[in-house]
Amino acid sequence: MASVLLNGFKKRIMDGSIDLDTDTIKVALLGGTYVADVDGHTFWSDVKASEVSGTGYVSGGQALASKVVTQDNTADKASFDAADVTWSASTITARYAVLYKDTGTATTSPLICCFDFGADKSSSNGDFTIQWNAGGILTLT
C-alpha cells in the first residue's frame, strides 16, 4: 500500500471541520497486518485495533508540535508541516503511521492520512523517529 489521503479527510478539509494548524493532530503507529481502506476508514476507532504497543509508546500516539500551514504562490501550492516525532527509549515495531484529529473520542476523531514505511520499522530501547519530508507532511498543488 502506498501512502494515502483518506476520503473522509478530503471532505472534512473542504467543509472546514478539520483545521490542520489549530486542531489537535496526532500521529499513531500501526502494525504490519493493517490494511488501509480509503473509503471505509473514517475515524480513529476504525483502525485503533491495529495500533502497536511497546515500551515508550502511549496508546493513541503523539500530538504533533510546531504545526504550520503555508501558502507558496511561486510554486502554486499549500503545505502542512510539523516537527518530526520521536518516541524515545522505545521498543516498537510498526509498518504504518496514521494522522488523525483527536477529539478525545475514538469514534469522532477523523482520520487524515496513512503513511506506509515500506517495511517494518523498529526500535529496541532507542529512538523511533518519523522524519517528515522537508517539503511538508501534506502538500496540495
Domain ranges of the chain: 4-140
* Rounded average pLDDT over 52-71: 98
Residue 3: all three cell numbers together:
501512502
Condensed to tens digits (0 to 9), the pLDDT of residues 14-33 reads 999 999 999 999 999 999 99
What's the pTM value of the predicted model, to 2 decimals?
0.96
In angstroms, the CA 85 to CA 76 distance is 28
* Rounded average pLDDT over 56-78: 97
Q: Would the pLDDT of 1 be above 60?
A: no
User: Which residues, 6+ apart, have CB-to-CB distance to 105 below 8 Å?
Assistant: none
Condensed to tens digits (0 to 9), the pLDDT of residues 34-50 reads 999 999 999 999 999 99
Amino acid 2: pLDDT: 63
Q: Would the pLDDT of 7 be above 70?
A: yes
* % of the chain exceeding 90 in pLDDT: 98
